[in-house]
């Protein structure tokens, strides 16, 4: 989805649940999704539901919700983050596929192509490598004029003016 225009993003993922304009060139789109937990019902002979629940709890899966936080810089997707209990039994962020599935099934022309290997650089266990964010997409003019106070014992504020 990196490189995709906001128009193509909304065409394949839908209208975001919320948006936030960070500065003149950067905005955030927030998408939410839920996936129902499978219900196996009760069984007196073989406790399938209990076995699946136990495996999910110990295996790290069983997530049901995901929030995708997508940063757009100059009207192009530059960063995608997932939050929530979004892991599947195998892999991470699997529940989030309900949000991005439309974009993956029918790639838009403005998307950056993933290349490499038989299965590509994408795995159920790690995201593809993406370029660093542009300065205009990650910093506001106000943040460039201040720094974190390096002295933990100082009585000055945590954020202080940058010295020239």
Segment 73-129, tens digit of pLDDT: 888 888 888 887 756 655 566 677 788 888 877 766 676 665 555 555 555 555 556
CA 70 to chain CA centroid, Å, is 7
- Quickly count: other Cβ atoms within 10 Å of residue 63's Cβ: 21
Strand partners, 77: 72
Global confidence as pTM: 0.63
The pLDDT tens digits for 39-73 are 666 656 666 666 666 666 565 556 678 889 999 98
Q: What's the half-sphere exposure (Cβ side, CA atoms, 13 Å) at 27?
A: 13
């Amino acid at each position: 989805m990196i490189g995709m225009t906001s128009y193509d993003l909304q065409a394949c993922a839908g209208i975001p649940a919320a948006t936030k304009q960070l500065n003149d060139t950067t905005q955030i789109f927030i998408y939410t999704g839920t996936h129902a937990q499978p219900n196996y019902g009760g069984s007196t002979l073989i406790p399938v539901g209990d076995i699946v629940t136990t495996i999910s709890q110990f295996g790290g899966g069983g997530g049901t919700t995901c929030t995708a936080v997508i940063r757009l810089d100059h009207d192009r997707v530059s960063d995608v983050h997932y939050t929530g209990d979004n892991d599947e039994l195998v892999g991470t962020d699997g529940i989030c596929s309900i949000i991005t599935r439309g974009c993956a099934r029918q790639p838009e022309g403005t998307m950056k192509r993933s290349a490499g290997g038989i299965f590509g650089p994408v795995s159920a266990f790690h995201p593809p490598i993406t370029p660093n964010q542009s300065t205009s997409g990650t910093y506001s003019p106000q943040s460039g004029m201040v720094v974190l106070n390096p002295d933990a014992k100082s009585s000055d504020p945590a954020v202080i003016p940058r010295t020239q």
